[in-house]
Amino acid sequence: TQLLEQSPQFLSIQEGENLTVYCNSSSVFSSLQWYRQEPGEGPVLLVTVVTGGEVKKLKRLTFQFGDARKDSSLHITAAQPGDTGLYLCAGVRETSGSRLTFGEGTQLTVNP
Amino acid sequence: DTGVSQDPRHKITKRGQNVTFRCDPISEHNRLYWYRQTLGQGPEFLTYFQNEAQLEKSRLLSDRFSAERPKGSFSTLEIQRTEQGDSAMYLCASSLTATTNEKLFFGSGTQLSVL
């Protein structure tokens, strides 16, 4: 069983549409991060959320950490082809020290 | 470029051979991580170092895998007697001290293909 479940696994949309990606767990996390990865490259950190209920915005991307610190969401407004990539959530469990555990990722394709 | 660098970028080997990968972290970073990623999956934790000390190793990691960071700078990951199931992207990441807001910087990875 995956510690962090991401949904959907695949998402293909048209330019200009909005989308939301979800990251869920039964465990509590002291922090949760979102990364974006392009083919043949390593993941690149987008944001870290720490406080339950926290909302962070990065241009057209909005990240939210659940009140109970067990889940998170990523919302993209007016998606562009340059947003195409693998979006990964990753968290540090309160009970497992500082090691980062990743979800399986959401592959987003934005068609022009 | 002062990011995390990994060498080689690609490695093709025959089953049963040994392979070694190198990772050079960002110079002032004291933590170094190794992850493995297969197509369509998120990175899977293998092991990490703080300075030269290996602090944790995944229980899923076969004893054919060994990692070192002898002087607390670069690290090597060796896989002995490779198997086809070892084919994956091996990612290295580094960070500066563990905090709640620890930021991992990843290299571009080494893509291993075992024939």
Concatenated DSSP letters of B1-69: --S-EEE-SEEEE-TT--EEEEEE--TT--EEEEEEE-TTS--EEEEEEETTEEEEE-TT--TTEEEE-
Contact A79, A16 (CB under 8 A): yes
Residue with the bigger pLDDT between B1 and B48: it is B48
pLDDT digits (tens, 9 = 90+) for B81-96: 999 999 999 999 999 8
**Which residues of chain B lie closer than 8 angstroms to A6, CB-CB?**
42
* Mean pLDDT score of chain A: 93
Asked whether residue A12 carries a pLDDT value surpassing 60, the answer given is yes
The answer for residues whose C-beta is within 8 angstroms of residue A39's C-beta and 6 or more apart is none
Asked whether residue A94 carries a pLDDT value surpassing 80, the answer given is no
Closest chain B CA to residue A88: B42
Q: B8-22, B51-65, B70-84: lowest mean pLDDT where? A: B51-65
Asked whether residue B43 carries a pLDDT value surpassing 90, the answer given is yes
Bridge partners (DSSP) listed for residue A37:
A86
C-alpha–C-alpha distance, residues A29 and A51, integer Å: 10
A43 shares contact with chain B (CB less than 8 Å): yes
Banded model confidence at residue B23, pLDDT cuts 50, 70, 90: very high
- The answer to whether the CB atoms of A103 and B40 lie below 8 A apart is no
Banded model confidence at residue A13, pLDDT cuts 50, 70, 90: very high
Neighbour tally for B58: CB within 10 Å: 16
Asked whether residue A103 carries a pLDDT value surpassing 60, the answer given is yes
Asked whether residue B99 carries a pLDDT value surpassing 80, the answer given is no
Nearest-by-Cβ selection for B43 from A44, A92, A102: A102
**Which residues of chain A lie closer than 8 angstroms to B109, CB-CB?**
40-42
pLDDT digits (tens, 9 = 90+) for A28-72: 998 899 999 998 899 999 999 999 999 999 999 999 999 999 999
Closest chain B CA to residue A85: B40
In terms of Cα–Cα distance, which of A9, A98, A87, A15 is closest to A46?
A: A87
Asked whether residue B104 carries a pLDDT value surpassing 60, the answer given is yes
- Mutation target among A100, A104, A107, A109 for the B interface, most CBs of B within 10 A: A100
B93 shares contact with chain A (CB less than 8 Å): yes
Banded model confidence at residue B11, pLDDT cuts 50, 70, 90: very high
What Å distances lie between residue A31 and A34, A81, A105, B42, CA to CA?
Answer: 10, 29, 17, 18
